[in-house]
Amino acid sequence: ERRYRAAIIAGLETVPVIVKKYNTEEMTEVALVENLQREGLDPIEEALAYQGLMDTYKQTQEMISARLGRSRSYIANMVRLLKLCDSVQKDLIEGDLTVGQARPLLALRSAAQQIEAAERIKEGELSARQAEALVKSMQNKSPKTKTNKPQSTAEVRALMDRLKLSLGSPVNIKFRAGKKVQGKIEIAFSSEAELERLIAYMDGQDQTEDTEVMEFRV
């Protein structure tokens, strides 16, 4: 439609076009990708679109990255915003918080803490770096658990999901029995190219965007 309107303004009588035949599913997928390329998307709309491409159309973060020309780490960080509580997501939608201000709140476990931090960030007009410092101070004040073992299966699953989003590959965490927290992390890959991508990412060669360092507390 934008090209059509531009052609009218330019006074063109004919324009070159490429006609493609799509089924309903393909047409919906193409429309979703087109929507990601328009201006005016709020961060949550963008994150939901990425998540939709992964869930509905089985696209990996690497595939989306190549298709849209954005780094995989950028897409992973945007999708992680969906883990914020509804109130903070609303702040992002309405523009009361920036992505840089909201991202540190992911380190806070409860919705109540996230909401409290968001209000303090807005009231003090804190920068992204100041927001990170605020979250760290809130974590230091939080009561520490007496056990050094994972709280529950759900907590372990949450850690696995966070690593999966960061690496773009399935991750499995296995804990060993004992008093100390010990175990191993298994990262799955399905091709030599995917292995090379993971190695490059771990070597820091894939950090084309400013990514957040995850802190795991078990």
Mean pLDDT of 175-202: 78
- Hey, what are 76's tokens? 């992973």
- Give the pLDDT of residue 144: 53
Mean pLDDT of 87-91: 95
Residue 215 annotated among the catalytic residues of the structure: no
- Global confidence as pTM: 0.56
Q: 110 or 154: which carries more pLDDT confidence?
A: 110
Residues forming beta bridges with residue 175, ordered by sequence position: 183
pLDDT surpassing 60 at residue 168: yes
Q: Within the chain, what is the greatest distance between any pair of CA atoms?
A: 77
Residue 173 DSSP SS3: strand
Indicate the average pLDDT of the chain: 82
In percent, how much of the chain has pLDDT > 70? 85
CA neighbours closer than 13 Å in the CB half-sphere of residue 135? 23
- Using an 8 Å Cβ cutoff, are 40 and 50 in contact? no
In percent, how much of the chain has pLDDT > 90? 40
Domains observed in the chain: 1-83 (1.10.10.2830), 98-142 (no CATH), 145-218 (no CATH)
Least confident interval from 38-52, 92-106, 157-171 = 157-171
pLDDT surpassing 50 at residue 206: no
Catalytic residue among 1, 39, 94, 123: 1
